[in-house]
């Protein structure tokens, strides 16, 4: 990593919440010095068993931060007082990796009881997953606390959807303090992982109401997709988001978009609906190092969306339920 990038990440690694409490990478150095290594070990074992888990854990951090901020609300199960975000449209039959978070939490509770928050576990697991897939690492600012509730309404409204228009996606990012550069860079997380047929079927068969495939979708790629994603049925059939190097964190996601082979409509619109986003897509397609560096910066920025700090929230003993 070059000197300027190291300095930038160092500056970003100490972020101040709205309440004035700081998040910083050394937060657990005294209270739980083995915390980061414990998270890394569990994530490493999980990804070794199933490569797809790297993308799943990375996605959990996104879906948590876009709803009420990075507070672990996504991890809460249904209870007498909580309607879980796991049942929202973006998460239902889609969000996964919760058992891995459970294993991390169990290991941390044995090492240092009620010290490391579930929200911080999500942030660390996202970084470690990126590195295990071949991406650039970053120092994760820590010190988040866990929410006492969830918001299924916020999850349904706030998380960008595969068929959202570009203006809608831009608005959803802007509402949480993320700009156009963050949007394009963070979308690059789709260089790993899978999407279900139901996420892009409309694009294959009736994107504009004429019964045809989206005109921005490469015709041969569309034909290939249709063989396993029919007009009806097969909703949960999985497809790689990056058809070239689906298990490696690189910049082929952007190269695919330039070639008209972005799987989701929300991917392809970055190249077809805005000159500003098109320029960023081209830049990252041509320069993988530039993408990797910006992704790391944007992940730190996203991880600072409305964290609970100080005496707000709590440190859950079990990530699936509040303490009381």
- Structural domains in the chain, sorted by start: 13-159 (1.10.520.10), 176-296 (1.10.420.10)
Please, what's the largest Cα pairwise distance for the chain? 62
Say whether 106 counts as a known binding-site residue.
no
Say whether 250 counts as a known binding-site residue.
yes
Cβ burial, residue 248 (10 Å; 0-12/13-18/19+): middle
Catalytic residue selected from 59, 61, 63, 293: 63
Say whether 67 counts as a known binding-site residue.
yes
101-110's contacts with Cβ under 8 Å and 24+ in sequence apart are: 101/57, 101/60, 101/75, 101/125, 101/319, 102/319, 102/320, 103/42, 103/46, 104/38, 104/39, 104/42, 104/43, 105/316, 105/318, 105/319, 107/38, 107/41, 107/42, 108/32, 108/35, 108/38, 108/39, 109/317
- Prediction pTM value: 0.94
DSSP tag of 142: B
Going residue by residue through the chain, which has 324 residues, state the pLDDT in tens, using 9 for 90 and above: 555 555 555 555 555 544 447 899 999 999 999 999 999 999 999 999 999 999 999 999 999 999 999 999 999 999 999 999 999 999 999 999 999 999 999 999 999 999 999 999 999 999 999 999 999 999 999 999 999 999 999 999 999 999 999 999 999 999 999 999 999 999 999 999 999 999 999 999 987 788 889 999 999 999 999 999 999 999 999 999 999 999 999 999 999 999 999 999 999 999 999 999 999 999 999 999 999 999 999 999 999 999 999 999 999 999 999 998
Is-catalytic flag, 63? Answer: yes
> What tokens were used for 166?
């570009």
- Cα dihedral angle (188, 194, 197, 203), rounded to 10 degrees? 10
What is the C-alpha separation between 321 and 72, in angstroms, rounded? 10
What is the C-alpha separation between 242 and 232, in angstroms, rounded? 24
Spatial CB neighbours of 261, under 8 Å, sequence gap ≥ 6: 217, 218, 221, 243
Say whether 64 counts as a known binding-site residue.
yes
Say whether 20 counts as a known binding-site residue.
no
Say whether 14 counts as a known binding-site residue.
no
């Amino acid at each position: 990593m070059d000197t300027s990038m190291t300095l930038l990440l160092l500056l970003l690694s100490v972020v101040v919440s709205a309440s004035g409490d700081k998040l910083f990478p050394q937060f657990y150095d005294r209270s739980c010095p083995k915390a980061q290594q414990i998270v890394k070990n569990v994530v490493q074992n999980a990804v070794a068993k199933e490569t797809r888990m790297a993308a799943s854990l990375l996605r959990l951090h996104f879906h948590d931060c876009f709803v009420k901020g990075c507070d672990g609300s996504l991890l809460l199960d249904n209870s007498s007082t909580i309607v879980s975000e796991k049942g929202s449209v973006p998460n239902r039959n889609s969000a996964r990796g919760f058992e891995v978070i459970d294993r991390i939490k169990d290991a941390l509770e044995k090492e240092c009881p009620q010290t490391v928050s579930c929200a911080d576990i999500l942030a660390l697991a996202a970084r470690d997953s990126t590195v295990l897939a071949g991406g650039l690492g970053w120092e994760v600012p820590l010190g988040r606390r866990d929410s006492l509730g969830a918001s299924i309404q916020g999850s349904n409204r706030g998380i960008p959807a595969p068929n959202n228009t570009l203006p809608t996606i831009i608005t959803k990012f802007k509402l949480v303090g993320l700009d156009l550069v963050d949007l394009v860079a963070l979308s690059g997380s789709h260089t790993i992982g899978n999407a279900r047929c139901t996420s892009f079927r409309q694009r294959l068969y009736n994107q504009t109401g004429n019964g045809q495939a989206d005109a921005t979708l490469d015709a041969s790629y569309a034909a290939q997709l249709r063989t396993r994603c029919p007009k009806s049925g097969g909703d949960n059939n999985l497809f790689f988001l990056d058809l070239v190097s689906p298990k490696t964190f690189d910049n082929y996601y952007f190269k695919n978009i330039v070639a008209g082979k972005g799987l989701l409509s929300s991917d392809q619109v970055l190249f077809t609906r805005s000159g500003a986003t098109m320029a960023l897509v081209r830049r990252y397609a041509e320069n993988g190092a530039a993408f990797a560096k910006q992704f790391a910066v944007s992940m730190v920025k996203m991880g600072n969306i409305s964290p609970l700090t100080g005496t707000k929230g709590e440190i859950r003993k079990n990530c699936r339920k509040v303490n009381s």
